[in-house]
Amino acid sequence: MRKILFLATTILAAALSAASANAEQKEVTVWSWFVQSTMAKSIAAFEKAHPDIKVKYTYYNYSPEYITALKAAAASGSLPDVIGLQPGSLTQQYRENLEAVNERAAKQWGDKWAEKVFPVNRKQMLMGNPKGNENYYIIPQESQVLCIWYNRKIFEKLNLSAPKTYDELKAAAKALTDNGYIPMFQGAADGWQNENVFLMLANQFSPGIVDKAQAGESPWTAPELVAAMKAWKGLFDDGIFQQGALGAHAYPTGAQLFAQGKVGMMALGSWWMQESKFPPPLSEFVQNMDGFDFFYLPPVKDGNSASPPVGGIDIGYGLTKNGGKNPEAWTFLAELTNGVGLQEALNDLNDLPAFEGNSPKGDITDHVKEMSARFMADLPKAENQRFASPAVAEALDNALAGVAAGSIEPEAALAAVQAANEKALAAK
Amino acid sequence: MRAGSVTTAVERRSASRASRLYLFALPATLLFVVFIAYPIVWVAGQSFYAGTADRGTVFAGLANYTTVLSDPTFWTVVRNMFLWGIITIPVQMLIGGLLAYFIERHTHALRGFFRTMFFLPVVTSVSVISLVWVQIYAPYYGIAQEYLKHIGIVMMTSPIGDPKTAIYALIVVNIWQWTGFSMLMYIAGIANLPNEVLDAARIDGARGWRLAVHVIVPMLAPATKSLLLLGVIGTLQTFPIVHLMTGGGPNRASEVFGTFIFKQSFVLGDTGSGAALSVIVLVIALVLSLIQIAVLGARLSPAGKQDP
């Protein structure tokens, strides 16, 4: 009987002790569309540095799962502590559910913390705020620079080099097509990839013109933007993009074909380097990024320069009102965006840092280091990639698809974007 | 005991029994109220409010409805939904009915195999179906192109990338996916056909095509009516295939109610007009269902048997 009593007491004590340990461990809840495997590494590094905090991460596909989950949770007041965000429209949709993080960030990183964030990111952090509202509702974790990637092994085989003029680009596309390769894969069924290429073109005709048009300082029907829209159509008509691009998706179709060495070029961004860190088997092209290098879109018209770097925040995180009541939530957010969590993401080559002074470490080849350094050198001078109003982005997506399909003229298409822009500015 | 008191006691027991029976309906009623009735009322309420610049809402009366109805995209959606219903429902019924007839009447050992094969697309993930069909439609490097090149055909564009053909290309995928369901409904109907009627028809000289058209098809009317009702509702609920394959594009050419509501509510953050659209779809579904029940009757079970 005594033995039984002793055993029961021991079990009870152990259970109470475990419960007490669990009670001491604080929990932070996080939702995002960020790659699960990389986030798991970031969380492991964070929990190692903060053993008293447990992070519960929920992954969603971005659309429709993530944006519908956010909407439902915001309506019912059950958002997690930290949410993944894109700057501009997505952040603005949830502004009322987010804490302004200015004070917390100043306490964490010093009063001049914002100056350590790359200028294009800083601009995007405030994008869409009402006039005079200088609050930050998003802390960027990673940045990106858009570019044209090319398969340098295929180019070498066909005696091609990275094009510097539009004629060279057309010649490269023709040589690739003639040899059975897809010239430049465009997932034109995806609005985001079309926007990216259009931004490369527009900034080539007049750097910063899309930002001016968004702000109402220049019309969307400006000659430079009409010329950019015509050049966009030219990419389809001149055989730069593959046949049937309007029905194609960049992911997974285009990315898979590109990784397998069936595509010559693709308009992506600095995030493409992460392919080399995916679980094996990897193709000979993706392995250590051996098969790839990048260039900026060559001038599509005499007198233009090559497209300038375009980019900004890849992903950022916001502290919700619920998270504001949980002190550990900010601790995690800070480490994820500019601490041990970020370092793990950089080591996975997920993308470029948003804060200065960070770089990938670990098992990375000289070729990847060299490309990463080139991106990092271009990031401070990058033009803005994001849209403040989702309605304007949507109107531009429709305009680009319509022009590419030949169902609408560039001028009329841009007039529709101008109308959407005016409506968005009036509602602000 | 007097007759009057016996009657009262019986009535009391009967009333008590009836109230207990209502309790059995309570869980289903609660689920209906919480998960169906309340959301409908909430969405209907939201349709009368519009967002403000400071992220608040303001009563907007019928403004959301007038905005939606004056949007050209709405009428593109109405056209697409009409085409979707008018093509998919009869084609699925026809192919599904023919498959069911031939499988049930002309296959024996492999009957289970054929039933399973034709039903497989119904239970396959829409994501997988979308990925495969995008690849099938892709010109230059696509699956269909691989076969077509052997007969000298080169696809110059993708059917889902052309505004003129996108909606039809999506309708083909939808028919491919859901024909198995029509087949299953008709198989259930055929299995329940009374043998004595069929035997009598054969004795009277009905064979083959005549037997099928004049005897079997009319007797399968309940299954046909069910498919019609489900087809109309399914048409109005169309979302995943379009969202995954074209996103409603190019330039909104393949937009359907599901993708339009999703964009307004979740992408553009315009909950008011998204709610107004949802109410319009609900009203359309209700009206169409009532018309069908009024015109076709309520005998919707595959067996075609009404309760006495």
Domain boundaries, given as residue ranges, for chain A: 27-143+311-384, 146-310+388-427
pLDDT tens-place string over residues B110-139: 889 999 999 999 999 999 999 999 989 988
Residue B56, pLDDT score: 74
Q: Is the pLDDT of residue A210 over 90?
A: yes
Residue A200, pLDDT score: 98
Instruction: Report the DSSP pairing between strands B49-51 and B57-59.
Output: antiparallel
Domains of chain B: 73-296 (1.10.3720.10)
Residue B14, pLDDT score: 74
Task: Determine which helix (DSSP H) or strand (DSSP E) holds A266, and give its type and residue range.
Answer: strand A263-269
> Can you give the length of chain A in residues?
428
C-alpha–C-alpha distance, residues B180 and B159, integer Å: 24
Residue B305, pLDDT score: 46
Chain A residues touching B166 at Cβ < 8 A = 247
Q: How confident is the model at residue B302 (pLDDT cuts 50, 70, 90)?
A: very low
Say if CB A120 and CB A341 are below 8 A apart: no
Are residues B251 and A398, on separate chains, in Cβ contact within 8 Å? Answer: yes
B260 to chain A, any CB pair closer than 8 A? The answer is no
Structure tokens given for A425: 């500015």
Amino acid of residue B26: L
Instruction: Closest CB to A182: pick one of B55, B140, B162.
Output: B140
Instruction: Closest CB to B158: pick one of A89, A191, A246.
Output: A246
C-alpha–C-alpha distance, residues A37 and A46, integer Å: 14
B157 to chain A, any CB pair closer than 8 A? The answer is yes
Q: Is the pLDDT of residue A140 over 70?
A: yes
C-alpha–C-alpha distance, residues B163 and B267, integer Å: 22
Q: How far is CA B30 from CA B33, B40, B105, B178, in A?
A: 5, 15, 45, 32
Of the listed ranges A230-244, B7-21, B47-61, B80-94, the least confidently predicted one is B7-21
Is it true that A27-143+311-384 and A146-310+388-427 share their CATH fold? yes
pLDDT tens-place string over residues B158-216: 899 999 999 999 999 999 999 999 999 999 999 888 888 888 988 888 888 888 888 88
Who has greater pLDDT, B196 or B276?
B276
Are residues B134 and A242, on separate chains, in Cβ contact within 8 Å? Answer: no
pLDDT tens-place string over residues A238-263: 999 998 899 999 998 899 999 999 99
ipTM for the complex? 0.80
Chain B residues touching A67 at Cβ < 8 A = 266-267
Chain B residues touching A89 at Cβ < 8 A = 269
Q: Is the pLDDT of residue A418 over 90?
A: yes
Chain mean pLDDT for chain A: 93
Q: Measured between CA atoms, how close is A43 to chain B, in angstroms? A: 29
Task: Determine which helix (DSSP H) or strand (DSSP E) holds B57, and give its type and residue range.
Answer: strand B57-59
% of chain A exceeding 70 in pLDDT: 94
Homologous superfamily of domain range A146-310+388-427: Periplasmic binding protein-like II (3.40.190.10)
pTM of full prediction above 0.90: no
Is the CATH number of domain A27-143+311-384 3.40.190.10? yes
pLDDT tens-place string over residues A333-378: 999 999 999 999 999 999 999 999 999 998 889 999 999 999 999 9
Instruction: Give the residue from B196, B123, B65, B267 showing the smallest Cα distance to A66.
Output: B267
